[in-house]
Structure 1
Amino acid sequence: MFSYFRKKLNSHLAEHQRRRGRLVSKDGRCNIEFGNVEEQSRVAFLADIWTTILDLKWRYKMTVFISAFLGSWFLFGLLWYAVAYLHKDLPEFNPSANHTPCVENINGMTSSFLFSLETQVTIGYGFRCVTEQCATAIFLLVVQSILGVIINSFMCGAILAKISRPKKRAKTITFSKNAVISKRGGKLCLLIRVANLRKSLLIGSHIYGKLLKTTVTPEGETIILDQVNIDFTVDAGSENLFFVSPLTIYHIIDKDSPFFEMSAETLLQHDFELVVFLDGTVESTSATCQVRTSYIPDEVRWGYRFAPLVSKTKEGKYRVDFSNFSKTLEVETPHCAFCLQNDKDAKEKSKKGYDNPAFVPSEPKETIDTKM
């Protein structure tokens, strides 16, 4: 019993370590950390403040949103209080009856903050207002109005852009949980299924892959995350996919494929990560988006194919059953691409005949033995 639990714990830790080593998660997020970045590069994030704000998580974005408005209201509240203080409009100065203040009905810091808020958001209750007594108050009113419009435009635009980013459209594109390897069209192929969960299409869709692995060059240099191109296609080609129903994309395992040297027995012994990309243009917004996912050796099933999921109803409609989307069926499959190629060569050679023009058939002569 103890050995059983220890085996389970070791497998769980190995799976957790493998999951942590994944560069791209199943939902497309990149697991990478940048260290020892120079200060000049950090300042560049502030120079591109728009992209920095858009890339922030929602909790940080809302914190910046609230802080920007509260900070500007409080800052200009201090300035309005300073104007009233310097012009001796506050009650502690006991102004005369014929004294005309810069701003009517400002009696302290609280009323200054309320006037700043009313000015910047253009509420205009009518109780507090700027008079013609001092040009400083008029100038401050103009400055706050202009800065208020800029802050409103920037923050509201950032919130709207965050909501409408095509990255959210990518959430409705899903890949199969596993990749499979089986025969397709007489060739050994690696197959992946992808589906669009919305009825709106992705225009000009293009799908491709990258195989990430650690390689050692002949010079002895170790390259971590070395990238190898993986070409995926469907029966109609790899460009401008008609993405109205789930598609099964496949990669032909031939001599130029990095999977050619792998077999059903050695697949799990290899250390690689297959990252699949789908680029397209959102039909409703004309914005480009990219969907990513990845597969590690444990998620590649050798000798399986995907279950069918598209059917036609009696009413003539096409129905997609997503319960079979990631379901696989075991099929007879060669245990390596090299064996499949050798079998094909042997069959082709057996069908061929060779003529020898110099060959002359001869019949054996019968001999009669008359000896007694």
Structure 2
Amino acid sequence: MAVEESKNIPENIPIEIDDIQCEEDNFQDKVSSIIYPDIRRKKKSISYYRPYASPTNRIVMKCGKYNIIKENIPEKTSRYFRDLGNTILSIRWRWILISICLANGIAYLIFTFIWMAMVLWEESYMDLKTEGPCINGTGSFAGYLILVVDTMTTIGTGSITPTDCQNGWIMMTLLALTSVAIEGALVSAVFVKMSRPNTKDCIRQFSKKAVICIRDGDYCVIFRVKDLNGKYWARTSIKAVLIRRKNLKEGDSLPYYFENLKLENTGLLIWPQEVVHRIDKNSPFWKMSKLDMSVLRSVYRFEVMIILEGDSLTTGHPSQSQTSYTNKEILWGHRFSPCVEYDELEQKYIVNKKMFNETVKYEIPECSARELYLAARNESAIARSEDR
């Protein structure tokens, strides 16, 4: 039987490396359990989902980040400094915190050395008996550093106090202005970055898989979206973009062609909603069958990018999250399990988060939507002829 089934498989079908690796791992596990039955197998470490990792050559990662590297950019460094605001907001948290520490530390050291140089100049060229020193209570590096830190952080100078000399009040003014500039630039960047949606939240907004099933007699591509924190409830907008190779009439081909998918209107995101793309004659999935999507996925490789936009009801700030689904992540003949039910005792609707990504098998034909449409039309034509 195995030999007969292998004859029906078309030749020159590309096989994914990940599938081969999974089969080899399963085979090795079975062999080791047979040869060494008394030896307990070590428990595999739990592999947590890494949002920045991507096993395939996808354009948009599951966390929403673009898998793109820009090279040969003219004046790349100068452009970062010209748009310093976006540069600070786009870097990671560790670099923002390091920048705050470095900016304050460098400012402390610079003004400390300026105070020391000014005191040495006074001792050399001024008569301290008549005019008096600019700083009272210290004469060491640590004392000048404490004075600078106390002034820039507005703690208070304590026993180390500047006098009313001209150089003293000029230095105090420069210290205050520098402190306001550093705190206003970097600390405000921290608050703005904290108000932005978290990367993990972006991952949890969408279901891990998308499904293809029949709804109201038509093939539909369905995925789930949720927003339990109310970040996208106001002016919610959901877009889907198909990224695929397109062959032109002139014989050329576009390796990455972006095409918008038509989505049905969704309700409020008060609980998880199913977003539906109906496969009709105008859909790019019209001629795609299960074989094209699963077995021949390297030939008919595509990627569906999902973009969720909306405003928060709490802060009013706009938010945007995005993810993508590849051939592997679109299940043919599945549908989502219900995750919302009504509790008669509590008289409230209950949202089961564990069922958000759960799917069940749903028997549908393996042919394309076009083939199903032609078959149904032929059957209707035959039925009409028989009635006549």
Structure 2 length-normalised TM: 0.79
Q: 1:145 aligns with which of 134, 158, 176?
A: 176
Deviations 1:56-101 (Å, cap 9, x if unpaired)?
1111110001111111111111111111011018xxx9x8766611
- Residue 121 of structure 2 corresponds to residue 86 of structure 1: yes
Shift, 1:243, TM fit = 0.7
Correspondence for 2:342: 312
Asked if 1 retains the 8 angstrom alpha-carbon contact of 2:147 and 2:157, the reply is no
- Tell me how far apart the structure 1 counterparts of residues 344 and 322 of structure 2 sit (CA, whole Å): 37
Distance between the aligned counterparts of 1:43 and 1:11, measured in 2?
A: 50
Question: 162, 169, 189: which is aligned to 1:158?
Answer: 189
Structure 2 contact 58–303 (Cα < 8 Å) conserved: yes
Tell me, which stretches of 5 or more residues in structure 1 are unaligned? 357-372
2:358 to 307, 327, 335: 327
Structure 1 residue 348 corresponds to structure 2 residue 383? no
Residue aligning to 1:21: 57
CA distance in 2, matches of 1:63, 1:56: 11
In structure 2, what is the Cα distance between the partners aligned to 1:7 and 1:139? 71
Q: Counterpart of 1:48? A: 83
Corresponding residue for residue 116 of structure 1: 148
Residues of 1 paired with 2:21 and 2:255: CA distance?
28
Contact 1:84 1:106 in 2 (8 A): no
SS at 1:343's partner residue? Answer: helix
SS of the residue 1:33 aligns to? coil
Structure 2 match to 1:247: 273
Deviation at 1:227, TM superposition (A): 0.6
Amino acid aligned to 2:207? S
Which has the higher mean CA deviation after the structures are superposed, 264-273 or 167-176? 167-176
How many Å apart are 1:355 and its aligned residue?
A: 11
3-state SS in 1 of match to 2:155? coil
Deviation at 1:6, TM superposition (A): 11
Q: Distance in 1 between matches of 2:273 and 2:384?
A: 39
Partner of 1:9: 21
For the residues of structure 2 that align with 1:172 and 1:264, how far apart are their CA atoms?
27
Q: In 2 relative to 1, CA 122–321 (structure 1 residues): closer, same or farther, beyond 3 Å?
A: closer
Partner of 1:297: 327
User: Structure 1 residues 215 and 201, CA, compared in 2 at 3 Å: closer, same or farther?
Assistant: closer
Corresponding residue of 2:311: 281
Q: Contact 2:151 / 2:157 at 8 angstroms: preserved in 1?
A: no
Q: Deviations over 1:258-294 (max 9, x none)?
A: 1111101121211111111111111111111111111
How far apart are the structure 2 equivalents of 1:210 and 1:273? 8
Q: State which drifts further: 193-202 or 65-74.
A: 193-202
Q: Is the 8 A contact 1:307 1:327 kept in 2?
A: yes
Name the structure 1 match of 2:12. Answer: none
1:137 Cα deviation after fit: 2.2
Checking the alignment, whether the CA contact within 8 Å between 1:102 and 1:130 is kept in structure 2 is yes
Asked whether the equivalents of residues 166 and 288 of structure 1 are also in contact (C-alpha less than 8 Å), the reply is no
Q: Which residue of 2 aligns with 1:192?
A: 223
- In structure 2, C-alpha distance between the alignment counterparts of 1:272 and 1:19, rounded to whole Å: 15
Could you tell me which residue of structure 2 aligns to residue 63 of structure 1? Answer: 98
In 1, Cα distance between the equivalents of 2:234 and 2:204? 13
| Residue 68 of structure 2 is aligned to residue 36 of structure 1 | no
Q: Distance in 2 between matches of 1:217 and 1:313?
A: 55
Match of 1:61, SS? helix
1:334 partner SS:
coil
Match of 1:337 among 369, 374, 377: 369
Q: Is the Cα contact below 8 Å between 2:228 and 2:269 reproduced in 1?
A: no
Q: Does 1:213 align with 2:248?
A: no
Structure 2 unmatched runs, 5+? 1-16, 26-52
Calculate percent identity across the aligned residue pairs: 25
Of 140, 152, 164, the residue aligned with 1:132 is 164
Q: What is the alpha-carbon root mean square deviation over aligned residues?
A: 3.0
The change in CA–CA distance for 1:180 and 1:168 in structure 2 (over 3 A counts) is closer
- 1:7/1:280 Cα in 2 relative to 1: closer, same or farther (>3 Å)? closer
Q: Aligned-pair distance for 1:48?
A: 1.7
What SS class does the counterpart of residue 229 from structure 2 fall into? coil
Task: For 1:274 and 1:6, locate their aligned partners in 2 and report how far apart those are by CA, in whole Å.
Answer: 21
Q: 1:266 aligns to what? A: 292
CA change 1:273–1:96 in 2 (3 A) is closer
Q: 2 CA distance for matches of 1:141 and 1:119? A: 7
**Contact residue 170 and residue 290 of structure 1 kept, 8 A:** no
CA distance in 1, matches of 2:331, 2:60: 19
1:215 aligned partner, one-letter code: K
Given that residues 54 and 61 in structure 2 are in contact (C-alpha distance below 8 angstroms), is that contact kept between their aligned partners in structure 1? no
Aligned in 2, Cα 1:172/1:223: closer, same or farther, shift over 3 Å? closer
CA distance in 2 between partners of 1:88 and 1:20 (Å): 70
Aligned to 1:368: none
